[in-house]
């Protein structure tokens, strides 16, 4: 019951946050130089055509009126129509957001799968060859730009070894997983480096704590000490970091989706910003904000699960 109230409170808190984000995004896109008609028609646009299109789109109305209309439609679950793609924003997001979510989820899974065991290994072999090798390798991964790692992986595993497709998304769910493996790995490499370093440090701190010594002295088996006492406590800060990094992961997806030719929400957003497609920029930003906020909520819940004192 206590937990349920906590979740409810957090969800209610989300509403003003999202309204604020809606206002900021609305103002930002409308204050950018240029307008949809100019962006669409390009350099050859005649003023009469630009004015006609902007009038048809209702963009010649005062900004507050446009914002109120946007809010009214939002309250009815209507995010408007794409100016460039002539499709409803909701249906565009329904097509594109799951792609980005799947990519992000796969990256997160791969990152955790890489970071957890390697952080343990590095911590337990502190300053020995294994630790130096793991930290060194991840340092390289961390310092390389995402698009470059992506191209390296594509060239080697895609074009040279032909183990994976060179970009694209596939047609079936299995095909999606197969196509998304390399891009997910690309994104996961930098995230796992961050997680690994953080977790290794946390393990080293916890491992020297008195309660761990006590557990050992009590005669608990080493494995139990490690998982029940060391890992559980070391994970708290890493879970926070992980939650915060999901936003970064979504940001990285924008670049990765371009390099790997994946039709996701990140690419949709970038193309819409360039095209000043206001409804799509607003819609995707809002949806991504919801995703990030929900991730934060899940992160907090995970922390509560690890340390129940936090829910009080």
Partner 1 sequence: MKMTFTGAFAAALMLSAAQPSLAVERGGTLVYGRYADSLFLDPVLNDANVDIWVLSNLYDTLLLPTDDGQGVQPGLATKWAVSADGKTVTLQLRPGAKFSNGRAITPDDVVWSLERAANPKEGIWNFLISSIDKVVADGADGVKIMLKHPDPAILQALTVFNTAVMPKAEFEAEPGTTDEAKAREFAKAPIGSGPFVLKDWVHGQSMTLVRNPYYWAEGSDGKPLPYLDSVVFKVVPDDATRILQLQSGGLDGAEFIPYARVQELKKMSGINMELYPSTRVEFVTLNVRDEVNGKPNPLANPEVRQALNYATNKQAIIQIVTHGVGSPMSSFMSSATPLHAGKGELFPYDLAKAKALMAKAGYAKGFSVPLLVLAGNQDELSIGTLLQQMWGQVGVKLELQQVDNATRTDAYRKGAFSMRLSAWTDDIADPSEITSYFAYSPTIQALHSGWKNDTVDKLFVESQSQTDAAKRKEEYAKIQEIFNATGPTVPLYQTPYPVALRKDVHGFVQIPLGNNIFRAAWVSKKASN
Binding site for partner 1 (CB under 8 A): 32-35, 38-47, 49-50, 52, 84-87, 92, 95-96, 147, 151, 154-155, 158-159, 162, 165-169, 258-261, 263, 267-268, 271, 273-276
Q: Residue 86 Cβ, how far from partner 1 at the closest point, in Å?
A: 5
| 82 or 107: CB nearest partner 1 | 82
Q: CB of residue 158 vs partner 1: minimum separation in angstroms? A: 6
Of the two residues 40 and 294, which places its CB atom closer to partner 1 in the complex? 40
Whichever of 41 and 109 has its CB closer to partner 1, that residue is 41
Distance CA 202, CA 233 (A): 8
Nearer Cβ to partner 1, position 45 or 116? 45
In whole angstroms, the minimum distance from the beta carbon of 286 to partner 1 comes to 20
In angstroms, what is the minimal distance from the CB of 63 to partner 1?
17
* 43/129 with CB nearer partner 1: 43
Closest by CA to 233, choosing from 246, 251, 219, 215, is 215
Report the first-to-last Cα separation within the chain, whole angstroms: 12
**Least Å from the CB of residue 51 to partner 1:** 11
The CA distance from 55 to 189, in Å, is 47
CB-CB neighbours of 232 under 10 Å: 14
Give the integer Cα–Cα distance in Å for 236 and 227.
13
Min dist CB 163 to partner 1, Å, is 11
Nearer to partner 1, 165 or 243 (CB): 165
Task: Closer to partner 1 by CB, 243 or 264: give it.
Answer: 264
| Residue 146 Cβ vs partner 1, minimum distance, rounded to whole Å | 12
**Residues in CB range of 153: below 8 A, 6 or more apart:** 182, 185, 186
The residue among 117 and 175 lying less far from partner 1, judged by its C-beta, is: 175
Q: Cβ of residue 134: shortest distance to partner 1, in angstroms?
A: 30
β-sheet bridge partners, residue 81: 88
């Amino acid at each position: 019951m206590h937990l349920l109230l906590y979740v409810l409170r957090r969800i209610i808190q989300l509403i003003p946050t999202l309204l604020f984000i809606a206002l900021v995004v609305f103002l930002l896109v409308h204050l950018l130089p240029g307008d949809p008609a100019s962006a669409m028609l390009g350099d050859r646009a005649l003023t009469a055509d630009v004015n006609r299109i902007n009038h048809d789109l209702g963009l010649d109305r005062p900004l507050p009126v446009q914002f109120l209309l946007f809010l009214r439609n939002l309250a009815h679950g209507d995010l408007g129509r794409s100016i460039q793609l002539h499709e409803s924003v909701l249906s565009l997001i329904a097509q594109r957001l799951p792609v980005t979510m799947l990519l992000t989820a796969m990256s997160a899974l791969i990152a955790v799968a890489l970071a957890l065991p390697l952080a343990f290994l590095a911590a337990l072999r502190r300053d020995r060859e294994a630790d130096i090798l793991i930290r060194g390798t991840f340092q390289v991964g961390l310092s390389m730009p995402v698009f470059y790692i992506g191209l390296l992986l594509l060239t080697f595993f895609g074009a040279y070894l032909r183990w994976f497709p060179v970009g694209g998304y596939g047609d079936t769910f299995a095909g999606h997983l197969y196509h998304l493996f390399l891009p997910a790995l690309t994104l996961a490499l930098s995230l796992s480096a961050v997680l690994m370093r953080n977790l290794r440090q946390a393990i080293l701190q916890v491992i020297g704590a008195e309660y761990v010594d006590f557990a050992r002295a009590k005669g608990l088996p080493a494995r139990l000490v490690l998982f029940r006492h060391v890992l559980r406590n070391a994970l708290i800060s890493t879970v926070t970091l992980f939650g915060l990094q999901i936003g970064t992961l979504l940001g990285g997806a924008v670049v990765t989706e371009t390099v790997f030719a994946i039709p996701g929400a990140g690419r949709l957003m970038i193309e819409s910003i360039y095209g000043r497609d206001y409804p799509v920029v607003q819609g995707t930003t809002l949806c991504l904000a919801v995703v990030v906020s929900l991730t934060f909520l899940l992160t907090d819940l995970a922390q509560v699960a690890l340390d129940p004192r936090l829910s009080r």
